[in-house]
Amino acid sequence: MSDTTTTRTPEKSGFHFRDLTKMFGGAQSSGRQFGILGALVVIIVFFQIMTGGKTLDPSNMINIVNGNSYVLVLAIGMVMVIIAGHIDLSVGSVAAFVGIIVAESMDKWGWPWPAAMVLGLVVGALVGTWQGFWVAYVGVPAFIVTLAGMLFFRGANQFVGNSTSVPVPREFTFIGGGYLPEVGPNTGYNNLTLLLGLVIAAAIVWQEWRLRQAQTAMKADKAPLWVSGIKVGLLLAVVVGATVLFASGRVGTSYPIAGIILAVLVLGYSFVTNNTIIGRHIYAVGGNWRAAELSGVKIQRVNFFVMWNMSVIASLAGMMWIARSHASGPGDGVGWELDAIAAVFIGGAAVAGGIGTIVGSIIGGLVIAVLNNGLQLLGVGQDLVQMIKGLVLLAAVGIDVYSKRQGRPSILARFGRRGTPNVTEGPAVMPGADTPEASARSGAASPNK
């Protein structure tokens, strides 16, 4: 065997149309990776035309963010649960249970709202500890544990609140229905929203520059400069458009505080899943728990963490909901788990586990949110809305499964693989997974078993 040296060209010159496929994912990127994002754009454009421009009205966009932030928050935790190979059916009931306790603590016990929020997070952590113990250390499938939790905490919500609504103080509603305040000179826009957009725009430019510098230092292939220019230009156009849209709402409204909370969670959990040991372990366990176990991954700790974390996030979503609705009631949280699960699967997560991203789940949640909003603006009845949502979910997963069976790369899985280390697209092969001993050993029976 003779030694050969291959010189990589760091950057190609001239125009090559295929270079556009490197825009958002390097050389392995494909246009099909952006199918979900493209679907969201198509849906927005469709409803913008059909509603006569109402969809992209500032007030309507603000309502979409405010009214769906709790589902998007739930999707952040749910995608980690599903990546690890589980499912959580209790999130709506846990959110309602925490919501009624927080409302009671402020209305009847006289607690200040910051202390009540801490109480809510503590209660969510205790619930997560309880459910995580049964899943990780006893070996009961998460489907069964959280089904029991859905029933138990729904009843607990009605028991604590006596099946009545409990109001929350006005100062608490800020986290669920508040906006960035008006400060500075009168520019005709909300100045803090403009500043937020400017910071995001600067971050986009800095991130692209940093990426190209790192690729140059490693002598790695990188997209031509014109491709980076188009990429940054498109992102800046979206940011500027959204900034102007949210900043130009009626006086007293701007970018919602709930959206700020959501953005912080997206950034934080994206970092956790992509750049930390626990994040890599979650993907490893979901992709192939036996291989992960042989590699030294503490499977029980991973399973415990994802279930515990989901309940904490559910408690935050519950508090955001009661803050927006100004009260906690017995009907809170009904069906939330289904919306969160649908958002995750539409966003590219694999049913078998091991594949999915935070950003993809947010996009999936936005597809549902815009679909709901657009159909309501068109006066479509709630019965048809539910039917259409069901068909969208079925189509999203069905196309993905069909693509796999035809031997082609999975559209949704390829989107989800961005930032997913060493994960195969197909279902994980788990020797002995059909035996009780194997399920108990992993501490994580498949939700499909």
pLDDT exceeds cutoff 60 at 430: no
Copy the structure tokens of residue 170: 């006005």
Q: Is residue 69 part of a domain?
A: yes
Q: Can you give the pLDDT at residue 320?
A: 95
Q: Is residue 235 part of a domain?
A: no
Name the band, by pLDDT with cuts 50, 70 and 90, for residue 250: confident
CB neighbours of 102 closer than 8 A, spacing ≥ 6?
116, 117, 119, 120, 168, 318, 319, 322, 328
Q: Can you give the pLDDT at residue 446?
A: 41
Q: Is residue 123 part of a domain?
A: yes
Q: Can you give the pLDDT at residue 427?
A: 38
Q: Can you give the pLDDT at residue 340?
A: 93
Q: Can you give the pLDDT at residue 28?
A: 32
- Tens digits of residue pLDDT in 261-309: 999 999 899 899 988 999 999 999 988 888 988 888 899 999 999 999 9
Higher pLDDT, 436 or 372: 372
Asked whether the beta carbons of 160 and 307 are under 8 A apart, the reply is no
Name the band, by pLDDT with cuts 50, 70 and 90, for residue 434: very low
Instruction: Say how far apart CA 192 and CA 441 lie, in whole Å.
Output: 52
pLDDT exceeds cutoff 60 at 447: no
Q: Is residue 211 part of a domain?
A: no
∠ Cα 136 139 145 (to 5°): 85
Mean pLDDT of 26-31: 36
Q: Which of 93-97, 403-407, 418-422 has the lowest mean pLDDT?
A: 418-422
- Tens digits of residue pLDDT in 194-235: 999 999 889 889 888 888 888 788 877 777 787 778 878 888
Q: How big is the chain, counted in residues?
A: 449
Instruction: Say how far apart CA 176 and CA 186 lie, in whole Å.
Output: 26
Quote the pTM value. 0.81
Q: Can you give the pLDDT at residue 352?
A: 80
pLDDT exceeds cutoff 50 at 343: yes
Residue 62 domain boundaries: 30-178+256-442
- Tens digits of residue pLDDT in 170-183: 999 988 888 988 88
Mean pLDDT of 9-13: 49
pLDDT exceeds cutoff 70 at 143: yes
∠ Cα 123 129 130 (to 5°): 95
Q: Can you give the pLDDT at residue 14?
A: 55
Name the band, by pLDDT with cuts 50, 70 and 90, for residue 403: low
Copy the structure tokens of residue 428: 């994980």
Copy the structure tokens of residue 160: 């604590």
Burial 432-449 (b: 16+ CB within 10 A, else e): ebeeeebbebbbbbbbee
- Tens digits of residue pLDDT in 348-382: 888 888 888 888 899 889 999 999 999 999 988 88
405-414 long-range contacts, Cβ below 8 Å, gap at least 24? 409/30, 409/32, 410/350, 411/32, 411/35, 412/35, 412/36, 412/345, 412/348, 412/349, 412/350, 413/348, 413/350, 413/355, 414/30, 414/32, 414/33
The residue assigned the tokens 């996030």 is: 313
Average pLDDT, the chain: 81
CATH number at residue 395: 1.10.3470
pLDDT exceeds cutoff 80 at 398: no
Q: Is residue 243 part of a domain?
A: no
Instruction: Say how far apart CA 291 and CA 441 lie, in whole Å.
Output: 13
∠ Cα 67 69 70 (to 5°): 100
Name the band, by pLDDT with cuts 50, 70 and 90, for residue 145: very high
Instruction: Say how far apart CA 157 and CA 170 lie, in whole Å.
Output: 22
Cβ atoms < 10 Å from Cβ of 110: 8
CB neighbours of 438 closer than 8 A, spacing ≥ 6?
430, 431, 432
Q: Is residue 343 part of a domain?
A: yes
CA 46 to chain centre: 24
* DSSP 3-state of 11: strand
Give the chain's domain count: 1
CB neighbours of 138 closer than 8 A, spacing ≥ 6?
none
Higher pLDDT, 39 or 422: 39
* DSSP 3-state of 179: strand
Mean pLDDT of 65-91: 93
- Tens digits of residue pLDDT in 125-141: 999 999 999 999 999 99
Q: Can you give the pLDDT at residue 412?
A: 42
Instruction: Please give the share of the chain, as a percent, with pLDDT higher than 90.
Output: 44
Q: Is residue 198 part of a domain?
A: no
Report DSSP letters for 213-276, one per residue. Answer: HHHHHTT--B--HHHHHHHHHHHHHHHHHHHHHHHTSSTT--SBHHHHHHHHHHHHHHHHHHHS
Copy the structure tokens of residue 320: 């955001």
Q: Is residue 136 part of a domain?
A: yes
Higher pLDDT, 38 or 122: 122
Cβ atoms < 10 Å from Cβ of 409: 13
